[in-house]
Amino acid sequence: MNRVLRLSHTTIILIVFILACSTEPHAVQLKCTRVTDGDTITVVTDGQKVTIRLVGIDAPEKSRKKHEPGQPFSQNSTKYLAGLVLNNHVDIVSYGTDRYGRTLGVVYVDGKNVNLEMVRAGLAEVYRGRPAKGFDNEPYQKAEDEARRASVGMWSLGDKYVSPREWRRMNR
């Protein structure tokens, strides 16, 4: 069973090292200080910042160019995630790091799985790439199927919907 670690003055470098080297998911609690987009946040402890990529989901992409809207529902997704986590203490269950050095994690606020909530709200889809080691995406797939059937969020676009993965490919 996962244990939640309450952090006081431990260094974030030690935490990231332990989480990245572990083969089992671990949980830590940190304060969310920034929401980059619908699937990426920044947490801080002892003045150190760590980027967390919400594992198992892929949210609509923001534009890389200033003053452009990006993919439909990207702003909605970012705002929704911010409403759930920004300036709150979050528990993070880590699944290692991605190729950019970001911690892959399931984020919880008051016991609520934020990653899964993003999919339920139709503001993220299940990540289409290789799943993180030890990560079970079955509940996420069920939530996506339900959101699609209900035409919630980005699924309301119907045939005009483009996966974030495809949108990134088309906008390189």
**Catalytic residue of the set 34, 61, 64, 165:** 61
DSSP string for 8-56: SS--HHHHHHHHHH-SS-EEEEEEEEEEEETTEEEEEETTEEEEEEETT
| Residue 138 annotated in active site | no
pLDDT (0 to 100) of residue 26: 56
Torsion on CA atoms 145, 146, 151, 156, rounded to nearest 10: -40
pLDDT (0 to 100) of residue 35: 98
> Span 4-170: which CATH code?
2.40.50.90
**Catalytic residue of the set 24, 102, 128, 148:** 102
pTM of the model: 0.83
Burial class (CB in 10 A: 0-12, 13-18, 19+), 147: buried
**Catalytic residue of the set 6, 53, 117, 165:** 53
- Find the helix or strand (DSSP H, E) in which 160 lies: none
| Residue 64 annotated in active site | no
* 111-161 residue pLDDT tens: 999 999 999 999 999 999 999 999 999 999 999 999 999 999 999 999 999
Task: Tell me the pLDDT band of 96, cut-offs 50, 70 and 90.
Answer: very high
Half-sphere CA count of 61, side-chain side, radius 13 A: 15
Mean pLDDT of 23-47: 84
| Residue 102 annotated in active site | yes
